Amino acid sequence: MINPVGSDELKPLFVYDVNQHEALMKEAENLPSLLLTSQAAANAVMLGSGYFSPLPGYMNVADSLGAAEKMVLTDGSFFPVPVMNLTESVDGIEGAKRIALRDPNVEGHPVLAIMDVENIEEVSDEQMALMTEKVYRTTDPEHPGVAAFNSQGRFALSGPIQVLNFSYFITDFPDTFRTAVEIRNEIKERGWNKVVAFQTRNPMHLAHEELCHMAMDRTGADGLVIHMLLGKLKPGDIPAPVRDAAIRKMVELYFPPNSVMVTGYGYDMLYAGPREAVLHAYFRQNMGATHFIIGRDHAGVGDYYGAFDAQTIFKEEVPAGALQIEIFEADHTAYSKKLNKVVMMREAPDHSKEDFVLLSGTKVREMLGQGIAPPPEFSRPEVAKILMDYYQSINK
């Protein structure tokens, strides 16, 4: 089985020992506490789940700058983005060596983790601008990831953490949320050696489904992990429960039994395009995948990134040997009227645009909202039905 990144074993930061967990929860009651931002809370969940292994906690400013500039931390280890705990105010925690981190996304703000505070540093405007530019390739405040990153505050708290719960993900998505530890264990139990991972924040239409079949066939994979983002999205994205139902229906009807795991992870979308693609590959290796599908405009938003920047970054910027996971490079996939099947568009050079069934996301949403199913060459009817029900419910 593929090793986790930078280590022979996964290093999740969740406290699994029941007695230790209970003692830490009791200790937290008397500690100074900090209400996290949503992004810092998502980082804690990913650290606890083992996806960010072997990081021991939140990065200091030097490591954050190293991750942003060269994807290399001060100790020489590889990580593709800053993993920070930024806050607007340190009132009430100044001088504290140990603090409770509280969850901003759950009512009552329960303790999410306990942190040993090694540093509290003020991040300069220049440092924030540099990290923003390097990670997002833009400082445009209209970019949703840029806006979220820069809205958190300028005090950076760094140090190791012990994670005590997985926020709302475990309660809201009990059938889907899985840690890297759990996915790795299930891959082992299933006896899969070659495993393809597919990232999605949207429902899967026919082209996505066929892309997964192509990747499995061409890599000789034993199994597929459909791994969906369950955290914060931008307005207009389809809610995770609807997406989950649509994907499960597709898998049930159109994939062989026991060939697919439908899972999700607790993280907020960065919309950082190429750099986020590297992060996605990083934590897919940690969960046990050997191959990861990256297609056109992976993790992009608007027109900030070139169509295949998320593929070329692995060849041009990722340090040699940093990742073992292999990238399955995909082009846009669409149904060919000439060939009566879904193909990668670059593999049909004799086709013109008119030879494909192509619908914009806006057009598809309009059709679904009006109760009109997209053509079967675009979307499976059973999947379209779930999405139509959702769009009609919000349009009432």
Rounded Cα distance between 86 and 119, Å, is 12
Residue 77 burial (10 A CB sphere; 0-12, 13-18, 19+) = middle
Nearest to 202 by CA among 288, 286, 301: 301
Catalytic status, residue 190: no
Give the DSSP H or E segment for 206. Answer: helix 206-219
Q: For the chain, how big is the Rg over CA atoms in Å?
A: 21
395 labelled catalytic: no
Please tell me the distance from the alpha carbon of residue 176 to that of residue 173, in angstroms, as a whole number. Answer: 5
Give Cβ neighbours of residue 303 (< 8 Å, ≥ 6 apart): none
196: CB partners within 8 A, 6+ apart = 212, 215, 216, 219, 221, 223, 224, 225, 289, 290, 291, 292, 293, 328
Distance, in Å, from the CA atom of 73 to the CA atom of 62, rounded to the nearest integer, reads 8
Looking at residue 263, its amino acid is: T
Give the residue ranges of DSSP H helices in 287-355. 309-316
Nearest alpha carbon to residue 356 among 378, 334, 377? 334
- Among candidate residues 98, 154, 190, 201, the one labeled active-site is 201
Interhelix angle 125-136/273-286, rounded to 10 degrees, is 80
Asked, as a colleague might, if the bond just before 257 is cis with ω within 30 of 0, I would say: no
User: Of 202, 248, 258, 284, which one is the catalytic site residue?
Assistant: 202
Dump the DSSP string for 7-20.
SSS----B---HHH
Token pair in block for residue 213:
């079949």
Number of H helices, E strands in the chain: 13, 15
Cα–Cα distance for residue pair 8/291, rounded to 1 Å: 18
Q: Which amino acid is at 91?
A: D
Catalytic residue IDs: 201-202
